[in-house]
Structure 1
Amino acid sequence: MIAENEKFPGGVNYFFRESSLYSLFYTHALFIPCFLNMLFFD
């Protein structure tokens, strides 16, 4: 982890962390309505 921080200082690590966070958010935002739809409107 330290070697990666030395290789990619600052912005790149921040970008990858934020993009993974956004991808997690969007997949859950798509998945949760489908799950609730299965749950309540079976």
Structure 2
Amino acid sequence: MDPARPVAEALVLDRNPLEVSPEELPRLKVLRTFVAGQEVSS
């Protein structure tokens, strides 16, 4: 990891990763990303 690059602190996914099969995990979509409490993508 590059220490100069921010790391996401929280993600909002389209589905609960604990409720999908392992095969479905790569197909989860990131809906929102937060870094330092600020939304950086949606």
User: Would the TM-score normalized by the shorter structure come out above 0.5?
Assistant: no
CA radius of gyration, larger in: 1
Structure number having the greater helix percentage: 1
The alignment's TM-score, normalised by the length of structure 2, stands at: 0.23
The alignment's TM-score, normalised by the length of structure 1, stands at: 0.23
